Structures are given as structure tokens and as C-alpha cells.
Chains A and B, each alone.
Chain A
């Protein structure tokens, strides 16, 4: 391309876009539950440690690959190491992961949009618990409505990406991440006043040695890896929009710290509500679309609470979905002679179409026998494929590339002068030995390859 590559207008813009990308739905609805189930405070502590050991180093590495190559994920590997095309596979895997995630992410986020609308219409009024819970079943099993929202969410994301790095991604990520923080804080303050707050603190923070074992440690490492948006080519793309000279290590730490902060805040916001009504903690769509709505309905200011929560939900999803489309579109732009708008439109369309089976997976509109054959519904199958295989593999490629292929003089140079030089060998050590080891362990454990 002849034109000058568009860059983030400022460091803050990059950091906010990255935070938006890393804070995803998993953090909102999975993290609190996993923490409670795996030993509370101990797990939390180990998760923080994992963010530092695996999350931050790989995050820095991905950003540097992108910034140095000034290319999106696939060609970035190629530009840095032209002689060995093999490493490009890492870039392909990352782009594939992003694309596949987007196809089903927008289905779930679409339900979030629907619940936002329902909150604004005041659908809680005069409904019993069972009726509120039944609404979700009706929604999820209505293929047409789910597809409608899947379309709307994909379209919103695509339009943002079409706007470009500054006017699209940076602009909207900035606004949404700020709103997200404010809303989370307001909801958190509200949760503090609830009677279940103490129990939630207990559930999340109290160290429980009986539950904390090797499996829990691995879970924490995996969570750290997933919550930092690694192995999806995202930070490579975002890094390529970064100007040289920025202190990558510090930005990675800021992002890592924000993720931890938001994770804990989200847990302390959601679980007090659940415990106030004496219910068992849950995770996933059941928590968000069935448990929380009928609990909100019983609390004062229900309409306001529920609307704010679902705005938070939608913004969380949207800021994470934007880079998913962006990664694939950026790669397309570099391999084919098309502009940003055409590329984003193509990716959005493809993602919408490939997401339709996920949207219909509850109504069984397509592939009625899928569940009988693959043992999970279509959406979960794609989710599992990505999180068990593709992302860890892409991460493995990336860390090996950084540790053994990327020239150390260049990396040292890219590391920046403002950072203590003593940290550089530690970083390289982590990338060479610790990260690959952990990722291989994760792959073996999650895929249960030796269980049979």
C-alpha cells in the first residue's frame, strides 16, 4: 500500500481499545464463577500471578510483532522472517480464531441487545419468576429473532470497523470503555449496599485450600491467557497501528491491571445480587439471561439497574467484537487489493452467514441432528474448537516465534529505553521456556488427549 498506515491518535486511545478488546463477556459471566469454584482468594492470587507470567509477556510480544512489521497478523510473521513461511501458520490460526469467535459471539451479544431493549420496555413488570425465565427460552428458541439480533450486532460491529482506526475503532472503543467503567462502578456501589455483599466477598476472596489444586492452577493460567485476548492476532493488528517509541511494557501492565480490576469488580457486582436471594452461583448465559433478570425485577430501581447492566453487557461485547472483525479485515486488506470498507463488509457478511447455524442452534433450525452427533450444540462446538485447539496453538506459535525466531537485537531495540534493561532477559526467558510449557500443558489438559 502506498498510503501511510493509519495509527492510533494517542497512547490512551491504544490502551483503551486494548482494554475494550480484553474485557469480554467471559470476564463478566465466567470469571466470578470460576474463581469461587477453584479456591477463591488463592485462585485469584494465582490468576494475578498468571497474568504477569503469561498474559503480559505474550501481550507485549504480540504488540511488538505488529508494531515492528507494521502488518496484520499473517504477513507480520512473514515480514519478520521471510525465509521460513512456516511461521505464518501462527497468523492464520489467530485470524481463524477471531473469525470463528465472531460468528457465535454476536449471537450471544445479540441476546444482550434484546435484553437491553426488553429492559427499556419494562418487560419485568407484572411477571413472575418463571415467566421471566421463560422469556429467555422463547427468545433463544426463536430462530428468527435470534438471527435478527445476530444481524444487528454484526452490522454495528462492521460499521465501526469500516470507520477506520481512528474514527471507527479508537473513537468508539474510547467512548464505550469509559461508559463501561462508569456503569460498572455505579452498579458495584449499588451491590455494596445489598445484604448478600458479605457472602459474595467471602465466596470470591476467602482462600479455600481444599479446592485449590493442580487443576485449578491450570485453569487460572488458561484464564489469564484467554482474558488477555491472546492467540487471536488482535494485539498484532492493534500493535501495527501503534507508533514506535511507545513503552509497550508499561501499556501491557496497564491493560493487565485493568483486566484484573474489572474482573474483580464484575464479580463483586454480580454475585451480591445472586447471594442476596440465596441462590447458587452460576455462570454463562443462564446467569445473565435468566438468573439476573428476575433478581433485578425484585430490587428497587429494577428498570434502571437492568438497563445499565445490559448496556454494560452490550458494550463489553461490542468492544471485544470490533477487533475480531478488524483482525480478519486487516489481513484481507493486505492480501487482496481491496480497501478497508470492502474488507470489513466482506468479513461482516461472512461472519453473519457462518453465524446463522449458531443462531439457530437452540431452535435446531439447521442441523437438527448436530447435538446427537457432536454431543454439544453447534455454537458450543465452535466455541470449544476455538478455545481448546486454535487459540492455544496460535499462542504456541507466537511464543515460540518470539522466543526462538525473532532476532533478539531487534527485540531488545523494540523493548524500549525507558524500561529497566534487567527485565529484558526475564521476558525472553518467559517467552522461551515458561509460556510454551504452560501452553502445551493447557492443550493437553483441555483436549483431554490422554484421558482415553
Chain B
């Protein structure tokens, strides 16, 4: 009897629980409050909450809960750890809670934003931002990024920007907007045609082509100093720039020999040129691999334009795309395993993604206008592109699997050739 007993008592039981698939974190946003003495005439508190809600929903990782379902009066809801009515948030299933208090004084804005673990009732991150009322969106995006960093453990796209061409046929300038299309700024004012914006890897400069001097030459604009410098004005075209990952070089398309375009690599400091491709057919639109060891480009060497990859040390070229009659605008994913491009199939232009070894190509846009110029977000989770599905060309963003397509630009002029900025630190 006694001998048998210990064996029974010592046996330890483990229950195995496998995680459910594809769950989104239920997160609640307590309505942001005006904690200052002056009235919030611009409705800044509500606007900031809306920006954060939009960011979280866009990411695809969160389920933003309806704060209206909370029985308490939102206006009296506490925003600090000791004043929050925790039960009402856990009742609706919130795992995380965001609270905000702002105070406005003239054009000055102070925002206190907090993120809590609503189950453990612990604070995750809390920040007090000082800015101007017109920075409210920026501050909201910054805190969205804090939320994402704290929970997902990585940088979000919420503080990134997108450069693009804006204008009409004979007059295009380069503009920059937040990734959600707000806060548009025009960065070139050349009263000319400016094309092909490309961010430097540090996010401080933009290379682009401009006809300001009559010829399509390559320029670099320093965003902080506002200085513009012409870096390549070879006879013929100087177009489709792409910065190397270390920022020291720019791959571009030149047509030095009788109008036949080839890919060259320009050393930004010394202005020395190295020729990458050599083929009687046209080669354009280079895109660096994130490791800097290969360049994807478009070539018509096999007849119709297709995507090719040149390995850098040996300049060995291999073809990537075989489907479709007209594949252009490659952009290499930040993780290095995929290339996005615009392709024509049956008369329609759509965005595709293909593995860099040429396998598993996937169509991301379907039956909605002409879709062109894909550009990856720095986290590799999103792709920006242009589409005329609304009647004229605008910039759209979508998740890298094609879901969540969303127009981010509006107003006058066509917008084309989006370039997603690096993560701005």
C-alpha cells in the first residue's frame, strides 16, 4: 500500500494548449480627454484618438474595441492606473488599453498618452509629449509606434512617409506625405517635370530625375538643408535611381550608347560610374537587394520586358519572371526574399509579388484599374502603389498579402511612383 502511493502522488499532470490561429489583440481606446483648463476648440483629443485607432486597425494585428460598449461615462473615465475603471474594460475583453489626456494652451499642446496591460492592470508605456496643436497627428503616430514597439517588439510604419510624383503631364513635383496620406509637403519646386523619387537609406535625402535643365538629369535633395544638387547629367536619360543599402551608391539608368539604356552604378561621393548591364536590349529600373549583393531590373532582352536579377560581384544575370507579357518596376522586399513588380496580363496592370528564386508568384491587385509602381514599407508588411481605379492616378497602400487596400491621397493632380521611406528613427 505505502509503496504504491508515492508513485501516484508524484505523477505530475501537464495540459497541452495550442494557441488559436490568427488572433488579433483586443485593444480599447478610452476616449481621450481634455485635462487642461482651456477648451479643446480644435477637438484635438478626439482627433488624436482617431489617428491611433486608424493606425492600430491598419496594422492588421489589433482589434480595436468599441469604447461605446463600456457602461461608464467616457467623460469621467480615468486615464491613470489608479483611476481607470479596470472592470469595465476587462468586461469587454480588452487585453490592452490606451488612454490619453491633452491640454491646449494657445498653439501649445501637451499630450499624456499611456498604454496598459488591461488584464494585469499594469502600465506598459506612458509618455508626455510637448508640441504644437498642428503636430497632434504626428504625436498620435508617434504613440502608435510606441504601442506597436511595446507589444510587437518592432518598429511600425506609423512614423514613416511616402514620397511620390504629383502633377500633370508637363508639370510634376516630388511630394512627401505621412504613410496615411496626411501632411503633404512639396519637396521640389522646379516648375518642371520631376520623376522617380528614391529615399536614401537614412531617410535624409531624396534622389530624383528632373527636366529642369532640359535633359532628364539626376538630382539629390537634402531634406534638412533643402539643398538640391545635380549628380548625373549624362547625355540621354539619367533616370530611375535606387540607393544602395549603405547609401554610398546609386544605381540608375543611362543611355550613353545610341539611346540604348543600361544600368550603371554611380558612386555618390566620387561620381564614378560602373556599368552593370551590357545588352543590346533596354535595361531599366534597378532595385537593390537589402543585402546589397544583387540588383533586380527590367530588361527586354528576351522580347517583352521582364524582371531580371544581376548578382553584383560577377554581374551574372538570371531571369525571374516568366508569366505575363510586360513586367516592370521591381522593388526588393526589406526581408530580401521577395520582389514586388507591376505586371500586365490580359491587358490589365496589376501588382505581383514573386520569390527571388522565381517561384510562387502572387497577384495582389485584381480588376481595379491600372496598378503600378509597387514600393515596400520598411517593415516589409505593406506595399504602396499607384492606381487609377478611382478615375485618376492616386497612391494606395495595402498589406503585403494584398488585403486592406486603401487610397491615401486625394485632391488635385495625379499621383504616381510612390517610394516608401525607411524607418525614420
Q: Do A and B come from one complex?
A: no
